[in-house]
Amino acid sequence: MTQLVELKAAGRALRLLVPGAGMPQWLETAGVADAPTPALAALEALVSRGDNARERDIIVPEATLLPTGGMGSFQWPGLAGHRDSRNFVLQFEDWRVELSGRHAARLSAREPRAKLALTLELALHDDGVVVLSSRLENQGTDDFQLDRMMAGSYPVSGLDHLMAFEGYWAREFHEVHERLGAGTWLRESRRGRTSHDRHPALICGTAGLPAGEGRVIGAHLGFSGNHLMAVDRLADGTRLIQAGELFEPGEMRLAPGEAYQSPKLYICEAADGAAMRAGFHAHVRAHVLSWPGGAMRPRPVLLNTWEGNYFNHDLASLKAQAEAAAGLGIERFVLDDGWFPGRDHERAGLGDWVVDPRKYPHGLEELADHVIALGMEFGLWFEPEMVNPDSALYRAHPEWALQIEGLKQLPSRHQLVLDLTRPEVSEALFQMVHAVLVRVRVAFIKWDMNRDLTHVGDARGRAATARQTRAVYALMARLRAAHPDIEIETCASGGGRADYGALAHCHRVWTSDNTDALERQTIQAGLGLFLPPEIMGQHISALPNHQTGRRHSLAFRAITAMTGHFGIELNPLALTDSERTELAAWIALHKHLRPLLHGASTHFRLADHDGRAVYGLVGADKSHAIVIVTQRTMPVLEHAGPVRVPHLLADAEYSLHLPGPQTALTWFRHGPPSRALFAGGSHFAGHSLGQIGFRLPIMLPETAVLIELHRDTGENSHHG
């Protein structure tokens, strides 16, 4: 018997038809929540296909929740497998529907011939995000070879442009725009982590993504291992977005009684790019992140020691740097790589998680206690998944590295990957890291992963990427359970592990190893479509930049880092007196703006124009806003276009200010803006700012200005 599943939230409705046999069929993804529920017979009549071009007696639905091959269905399958070359055509039946309120459903069925049980879960949240996942259980008496299992599908109609990401180390989240054609768009990643080049996210829409007007559908797979994303074109022109884990050959072989659980696929269909971003941000905050104590506290400004010291751990210098950091207003001091034995370079020491007595004769407690006495938190770097061949751990247990018998291992960055699927390896790592955390008052872990996975064979020679990924999650979860007050940053050569699966165990993403402010403009814009800014690590680095050699003003570096989890990536002892004074002012400005930057604000990004980017936030009550205008390249046009500020109250008046150390404004080519624009007595209607905007003089390349807007109430004061 056919059943109707209807989920309602966020003012909209999802509808599916669940047949007696076959797969649940998508009907509607953007229905009106308060509209009357259509009659089942009418819905069946609406979706029944009248054509019979191939003269088949039965027309099989194609826009199903989890497409399978065979039985007259010819699209890209989301579920495929076999039992020793049998049971490769699957038809599930006896569907049961369990509803959880109005917004979530669990759909369960069985395949009696193949002896399989399937469960599909979907939920529509108040933030507008749809979450899909799937589970398959082998109820037979012999193994079932699972070759593909997507989390689910989501239909796309009327949208033929796609935006995805490509890149590499230090150049992540580069937007790639494509026109969808007649075939299947497919992207696969086999690096064993979220990856720098094939981040598991995409957006479908019309031309001008993602800042352009018009409906968009964003998709993100919450998984840190091998993955694939597909957009398949059906016979009627509809497209299906699918995403899931990518298995190595023979990797997912289900023994009798075993089950496979897919990662979660997150979908946000919205009126425009800004609404999509807001939906993903709200969902991550409410449903993905899990903060110590149950709620996020203000994100502490931090100093990370890596670029300021690298492997040179001089205790007296580090103490002096901590004192200088506290004087600047920094709230967290993070000691990076190099604190364990043999770690004077990247070729030795990984795996030996004990404190180097040569560098720290009295243990790390001496430095940590000094940092804490200065009023800051202490953070510490680990890379638990990796091992150097030149380490005591590897010399004692070379068999603990992932490897394939008969093949030479492939070191990368002079390191191998530990096989966390072996209980003894995971236990040893937990005990070493736990012992450090028991002795040292650590509030924050920077959890790094500096290489892709190759030769991913376990102790029996089987493919192990899927189990390795879940073993990493399990180790993180165990350490968090043992130390519930500690926050964890996910870092994988920068942004190589920046997905919702990792964020279920972590609290911050190191967005990129590239700290060049110009490069960070586009890197942060890309990842910021899916991650809220308060969990994106954004740092001010030294001059010249260590990745590109560029030199940027402190203002440009500070404004670029301002919106995220703000930090410093330099040696504060190397600053001049004037730099130290200015940096302290930028840190104070960030703290002043932090409630707006990291609150329930509306984010907007105008389409880039003539080398200029405009990004802004408007507070929930629309009384406070900021606009950041960045000139990335030399403009071509003689006059700069207007800067419009949407989402303000149309009938309210606002004043504009230049907060923090922005008084000289030397980055304008032909002199500063009109005095009237930023004069304290000038007032501008919200409608005018949104529709007409304001104009700035032409800016020099690689400069930025931050403008603060306050609704005029007669009591406003601004941060100078």
Report, as residue numbers or ranges, the catalytic residues. Answer: 448, 513
Contacts with 471 (C-beta within 8 Å, 6 or more apart), sequence order: 420, 421, 426
Place of tokens 């205008």: 629
Report the C-alpha gap between 102 and 115 in whole angstroms: 31
618: left (phi over 0), alpha (psi -120 to 50) or beta: beta
Angle at which helices 315-328 and 365-373 pack, to 10 degrees?
20
Whether the Cβ atoms of residue 487 and residue 334 lie closer than 8 Å to each other? no
Label residue 611 exposed, middle or buried (CB < 10 Å: 0-12, 13-18, 19+).
middle
Closest CA to 419 of 442, 436, 401, 405: 401
Angle at which helices 465-482 and 423-439 pack, to 10 degrees?
30
Please tell me whether residue 330 adopts helix, strand or coil conformation. coil
Tokens (6 digits) for 382: 């680990």
Q: Residue 584 CB: number of other CB atoms within 10 A?
A: 16
Q: Which ranges of 302-415 does DSSP label H, i.e. alpha helix? A: 306-309, 315-328, 365-373, 392-396
Q: Which ranges of 291-409 does DSSP label H, i.e. alpha helix? A: 306-309, 315-328, 365-373, 392-396
Helix/strand/coil (H, E, C) string of 383-410?
A: CCCEECCECHHHHHCHHHECCCCCCCCC
Report the C-alpha gap between 239 and 235 in whole angstroms: 9
Q: Quote the radius of gyration of the chain (alpha carbons, Å).
A: 27
What is the identity of the amino acid at 284?
V
Closest CA to 263 of 151, 122, 107: 151
What is the identity of the amino acid at 656?
L
Closest CA to 449 of 393, 384, 404: 384
Place of tokens 């599908």: 153
Place of tokens 């200015």: 582
Backbone angles phi, psi at 289, to 5 degrees: -70, 145
Place of tokens 């350490």: 479
